[in-house]
Amino acid sequence: MTQDLIDPRALDRLAEVAVSVGLNLQQGQDLILTAPVAALPLVRRIAAAAYRAGAGVVTPIFSDEELTLARYRNAQKESFDKAPTWLLEGMAAGFAGGAARMAIVGDDPMLLAEEDPEKVGRAGKANSIAYRPALDHIANFRINWNIISYPTASWAKRIFPDLPEDEAVRRLADAIFAASRVLGEDPVAEWKAHNAALAERTKWLNAQRFDALHFTGPGTDLRVGLAEDHEWMGGASKAQNGVVCNPNMPTEEVFTTPHAARVEGTVRSTKPLSHQGSLIDGIEVRFEGGRIVEAKASKGEQVLLKLLDTDEGARRLGEVALVPHSSPISQSGLLFYNTLYDENAACHIALGQCYSKCFLDGASLSQDEVKAKGGNASLIHVDWMIGGAETDIDGVKPDGSRVPVFRKGEWAR
């Protein structure tokens, strides 16, 4: 069995760190958890760690690859305009009542690569609409939440197609544990030090008060205006409920909110994007007035175009993030086909919804106030990678003066 190939001590540490550092679960707090059925060994450990931490009720919601494929291969076409609204409304109600959120990812990231892009796009849009009330609690950082991963066999074989399944699972497990900082004797201390380093980066960026960032590299000449009163964040952050948590494990990024109307120029992706089971590679887009007006991809172009047509905000940016090329995930040399990992290997931008927390006093801002400051609104939030060893970034001050931020893919200071 796959679970027998995975170091149980490392899995125990991942569960403990996810609950204590990732979520910082509070006494009496409920937990809503989503995961693939293959990740059951980790789900059980998460539940045990959560209850030891004083959780109220842990509610798992499982997905299954074969059930997903059954829909795409057998359902009537009307099915793809529907979503389990009742379930997603229940999740939103749970978050409104104070529950924490954890997602364990691990499904084959290319599960839907051979399925009809039209069906994938319609199902994705329907799910985005139904999930919006729950997503608002996450995007606006009203609750403590966390994403981690589990080395399933299907994902491992996608990353290591030439290895026997057992070896592929072991290799992926080792990569996950290393990136998640749980291989040392004191993972909590490691995370404390890592969060402190990211906090120093955000402190410097916030002190600069840049008006824009200018990215240059192969196929890229992009000026990203930053939202008014934007705030850089990274690592551990305080949610609106007062709980300090680490939303992503692993994380190597510092990020903030672009101005939805002030993005100009061209940009080319530096890594493939795995989105809803399809691979989109060789993305090239051009922005005018903050909006993508031209878009193409060498692979998965129809999926990209469907994504961009989700709503008005899907063609605008909701996040810009800085990650050095020397990040541990980048240096692993692996393409994970999973945004949680691949976005932490390179600087990236995100189409769609912004994070309202990335504003000064963001917790007190209404949606209209966020929009007035340049924040974008959309049903989607999709990160894709634009950084690499040849990426230069300048911070542009309001007076037009420039400060080097990245040179050749690394921090310039």
251-272 pLDDT tens trace:
999 999 999 999 999 999 999 9
Average per-residue pLDDT in the chain? 95
Residue 223 is which amino acid?
R
Q: What is the mean pLDDT of residues 120-142?
A: 91
What confidence tens digit (pLDDT) does each residue in 200-240 have?
999 999 999 999 999 999 999 999 999 999 999 999 999 99
* pLDDT given at position 148: 97
* pLDDT given at position 1: 47
pLDDT at 2 over 70: no
What confidence tens digit (pLDDT) does each residue in 282-302 have?
999 999 999 999 999 999 999
pLDDT at 4 over 80: no
* pLDDT given at position 3: 57
* pLDDT given at position 140: 86
Q: How far is CA 173 from the centre of its chain?
A: 20
Return d(Cα 323, Cα 253) in angstroms, integer. 5
Q: Is the C-alpha dihedral spanning 343, 344, 348, 354 positive or negative? A: positive
* pLDDT given at position 316: 98
Residue 384 is which amino acid?
W
Burial of 243 (0-12, 13-18, 19+ CB in 10 A): middle
Return d(Cα 12, Cα 42) in angstroms, integer. 8
pLDDT at 181 over 90: yes
Confidence band (pLDDT; 50, 70, 90) for 279? confident
Query: When comparing pLDDT for 362 and 191, which is higher?
Result: 191
pLDDT at 177 over 50: yes
* Least reliable range by pLDDT among 139-143, 152-156, 264-268: 139-143
What confidence tens digit (pLDDT) does each residue in 388-404 have?
999 999 999 999 999 99
Q: What is the mean pLDDT of residues 65-73?
A: 96
Task: Set out the domains of the chain in order of their start, with CATH numbers.
Answer: 2-179 (3.40.1830.10), 202-235+246-411 (no CATH)
Return d(Cα 315, Cα 328) in angstroms, integer. 31
pLDDT at 276 over 80: no
What confidence tens digit (pLDDT) does each residue in 294-352 have?
999 999 999 999 999 999 999 999 999 999 999 999 999 999 998 889 999 999 999 99
